[in-house]
Amino acid sequence: MPKETVVLVHGLWMNSLSQFFIGKQLKKAGFNTAYFSYPTVFGSLEHNSEKLHKYLEKLASEQKTIHLTAHSLGGFVVLAALKKGQLANIGRVVLYGSPVNGSIVCQKFKYYRIARWCFGKSLKPLCDGISPPENCDIAAIAGNGGWGIGHLIAPVLVPHDGAVGVEEVRLKNSHPMRVINVSHFSMLMSKKLSDAIVQYLRHGRF
């Protein structure tokens, strides 16, 4: 029986190397892994999500079941891609540290000229937030480690992971959610977070 494949999508200012630890844990758990990379500052959400949608269409012809995991901005790219139309063989989706309800840090920071340089074409979607598509099995993981550069720039809703508040991550319509004591960036090296992802992808619950 073919293994299920997990596509890992990185966050702002990063590339696929940031997902290496989580990917390694997923492989240990028996999943195949694939990595999707995109320009986080210079690429628009529309461009990046269209690119991911086409990537998933191609992958669906080769794989039986495709799960998705995404960090931070990557969650926006995943949700926007899933809204673009029916994709075959999509399994479960886990977002971690994704401010789907809008980032307060970005909302406060957007009035400064440097924000356009730091966030580029991702600034507006991060301010606005994004809703999940219907009829998709999506869960969220938030950190409450409370340390990071984000809360030095602007007040973040408590509890938070240092950049994103727990309530900014919470998906609407009663999607499952887990809160873990990690920061926005330490979650990328967290065994507890990767174990939670594996549990959800396998069983559909935390």
- The structural domains of the chain, ordered by start, are 5-203 (3.40.50.1820)
Rounded distance between C-alpha atoms, residue 29 and residue 52, angstroms? 24
How many angstroms separate the CA atoms of 76 and 128, rounded? Answer: 11
pLDDT at 152 over 90: no
Instruction: Return the structure tokens found at 77.
Output: 């790219």
Is the pLDDT reported for residue 153 higher than 50?
yes
Q: What does the pLDDT look like over 13-48, one tens digit per residue?
A: 999 999 999 999 999 999 999 999 999 999 999 999
| Whole-number pLDDT of residue 158 | 64
Burial (0-12, 13-18, 19+ Cβ within 10 Å), 22: buried
* DSSP single-letter state for residue 172: S
**Does the pLDDT at position 159 exceed 90?**
no
DSSP 82-140: HTTS--TTEEEEEEES--TT--HHHHHHTTSHHHHHHHGGGHHHHHH--PPPTT-EEEE
Quick check: 55 pLDDT over 80?
yes
